[in-house]
Chain A
């Protein structure tokens, strides 16, 4: 996104959101970088001001351990990326933290409040709101209705009060004003009356993010915000994610696009086979040997010599021979 456009976008919504140091984006980014400066680059490293702390989170599906995280902390006001190869357990970990799935064991807390056994909708009300990898736009609701749905504490959501518009009408107008401001910020105002199902993939991602903001979250969890988004929208989405931090929110996101991770995240947590294997600022993490091994396999660059190959082959044949002998024995 060009700098002037960024400025315009930033100014456009200063009035709508509580934003302590409106101005350049650097403020919060530098603050986050400063806060994380002395944090060791180790899995489970303690943070100076953690908003989310998780301990011993374990989730098994039958014999498969999908998530086995010893300890992890997320810094308040920072953008943290959660990366890892396919099947590393990132989305499962997301589901566990947000109450969409329950772990076999483990405790975790948000703002010092334990979230064990707390239902997903209560987690959202506490200020931790997520989006989904496969976008969940509510197709047959219009864009503005999608937005209004996000607002919490609506009087008209009680079945008895719902019957009387006089009870909820004023609040509905407030919500609509707030929703329109957000739609403008996300450049969806032209689509206001369209069915959400008629939007493009990228627009749905934008809508989902804007709708999550209607909840008024303290922490936003984005599951692959860039998946299926065309490159033209990517820059705009990146800008919006950075804006979340500027508005004082904490962001945790899962992503495969390393350029994006490097561009916007203050801290990166790497998962592989259900465990956190590395942590650190983006540049140091991507050079970490454990991370390279996890993504590419530990022998990816070692060339076997002729002798080593022969040795491996001999061992395999020996094992086969032994097996055959054993089988014959049992047959007799």
Chain B
């Protein structure tokens, strides 16, 4: 077994494109779910709106790259308003139902044959990332430390991505230590109590939905630009649930937890994948038990098991405070 390759792959996965995308998605969810208690099950919808806003503006309508970013961000704000206006006055579960349905509506609309000319159907859109890579300051070569490394395109998107992650964390940190963040956390605990103290709960929930949605939408941009192509099915419900997994793995309502959660999650997926494949190739595991094509599915089962064990033995996640979890049991 090639342990060096396994470890390098795991390290690359832990700082790679997927880790950045899901860190951003989970940072947004952390604002929604971790701090405000909003059950948004349609985070993939925010990523989709941003990615398609950019891709359609540039690839379909031939407009400049920056305009695509603006339209993507506007799309995320409008989506938050559309989701929030009818549901935020109602009980928490209505938002959950509406968000998951809205995310699916977005995915099915952009993949529909009717709008193939605009959104590109199930093939999605390509050829919109040129404007972004024109700005690339990294000269064309391979950037390596030993075997670990990336090419100049990957370096550029990862640099931008991690800067966005850092900025998002900073914003969340600044907001959540303020009285504004205190109102959000109080809403998570009991909205009526907050209302009785003279705060406009509806407005705060709406602000939280918009901010979390916009932070999540940054993940959509990074994904679209990193792949230089998008397809509708990457914005399915599993994207949202991966983001939830990452958030809970790190521990909800902690600034750094979505980032560490994303790193650990993608590292674990890479490790299980590579270790199993190498073990099968080396004959340690008989291919009658499991073969290479089954590993891709099986690793999710292993990660699922690991997460279950985590929830049993460390329910507060990596960063959480056990005392807080104990309060729920009272």
Known contacts: A138-B190, A148-B179, A157-B179. The answer to whether A215 contacts B171 by CB under 8 A is no
Known: A121-B199, A124-B198, A157-B199. Contact between A136 and B192, CB under 8 A? yes
B196 contacts the other chain (CB 8 A) = yes
Taking the nearest CB of chain B, how far is it from the CB of A43, in angstroms? 28
Contact (A162, B178) CB under 8 Å given A130-B196, A149-B183, A215-B198: yes
Q: Residues of A within 8 Å of B, CB-based: how many?
A: 44
| Cβ–Cβ < 8 Å partners of B186 in chain A | 138, 141, 146, 149
In the assembled complex, the Cα of A129 lies from the Cα of B190 at a distance in Å of 16
Q: Is the CB of B327 within 8 A of A140?
A: yes
Instruction: Check if A18 is an interface residue, CB within 8 A of chain B.
Output: no
Q: How many angstroms between the C-alpha atoms of A124 and B201 in the bound complex? A: 13
Binary contact track B191-213/A, C-beta < 8 Å → 1, others 0: 01111111111000001000100
CB-based nearest B residue for A158: B180
Q: How many angstroms from the CA of A211 to the CA of B197 in the assembled complex?
A: 8
A150 and B197 in contact, given A141-B182, A158-B180, A162-B179 (Cβ under 8 angstroms): yes
- Which one of A125, A149, A158, A212 lies within 8 Å of B182 (CB-CB)? A149
Among A122, A132, A159, A208, the residue within 8 A (CB) of B175 is A159
Whether the Cβ atoms of A159 and B207 lie closer than 8 Å is: yes
User: Restricting to A135-174, which residues have a CB under 8 Å from any CB of B?
Assistant: 136-141, 145-146, 148-150, 152, 154-159, 162-165, 168, 172
A120 at interface by CB-CB < 8 Å: yes
* A-B contact number at CB 8 A: 113
Contact A162 B192 (CB under 8 A): no
User: How many residues from B make CB contacts under 8 Å with A?
Assistant: 32
Given A131-B196, A132-B196, A141-B185, A121 and B179 contact (CB-CB distance below 8 Å): no
A301: min CB distance to chain B, Å: 42
* Contact, CB under 8 Å: B193 / A121: no
Contacts of A141 in B (CB 8 A): 182, 185-186, 189
The residues of B that contact A130 with a CB separation of less than 8 Å are 196
At the interface, yes or no: A198 with Cβ under 8 Å from chain B? yes
Whether, in the assembled complex, B181 has its beta carbon less than 8 Å from a beta carbon of chain A, the answer is yes
Interface positions, chain A 97-128, Cβ under 8 Å from B, are: 98, 100, 119-122, 124-125
Q: Mark B144-188, 1 if CB is under 8 A from A, else 0.
A: 000000000000000000000000000100110111111101101
**Closest residue of chain B to A156, judged by CB?**
B179
Secondary structure of the B side of the interface? helix
Return A47 CB to nearest CB of chain B, in Å. Answer: 25
Select from chain B the residue with minimum beta-carbon distance to A214. B197
CB–CB B192/A195 < 8 A: no
| Cβ–Cβ contact B178 & A165, under 8 A | yes
Chain B CB within 8 A of A197 CB: yes
> Given the complex, which residues of B lie within 8 Å of A131, measured CB to CB?
196
- Given A132-B193, A163-B175, A152 and B211 touching (CB < 8 A)? no
Q: How far is the CA of A77 from the CA of B190 in the complex (A)?
A: 30
For A155, list chain B residues within 8 Å (CB): 179
A197 touches B195 (CB 8 A): no
A145, B182: Cβ atoms under 8 Å?
yes
Cβ distance B167 to chain A, nearest Cβ, rounded Å = 12
Write the A187-228 contact mask toward B (1 if CB under 8 angstroms, else 0): 000000001011000000000100110110000000000000
By a CB distance below 8 angstroms, the chain B residues around A198 are 323, 327
Docked-complex contact B193 and A148, CB < 8 angstroms: no
Residue pair A100, B189 in contact (C-beta under 8 Å): no
B330 contacts A by Cβ under 8 Å: yes
**Cβ–Cβ < 8 Å partners of B2 in chain A:** none
Out of B180, B200, B328, name the residue touching A162 (CB < 8 Å): B180
Q: Which residues of B contact A172 (CB under 8 A)?
A: 179
**B183 CB contacts on chain A under 8 angstroms:** 149, 157
Q: How far is the CA of A158 from the CA of B182 in the complex (A)?
A: 11
7 pairs of residues in contact across A and B, judged by CB atoms under 8 Å: A121-B195, A125-B198, A136-B190, A152-B198, A154-B179, A172-B179, A215-B198
Q: Apart from A138-B194, A149-B179, A172-B179, list 13 A-B contacts with CB within 8 A.
A: A121-B198, A121-B201, A124-B197, A132-B196, A136-B193, A140-B185, A150-B197, A156-B179, A156-B180, A157-B180, A163-B174, A163-B175, A168-B179
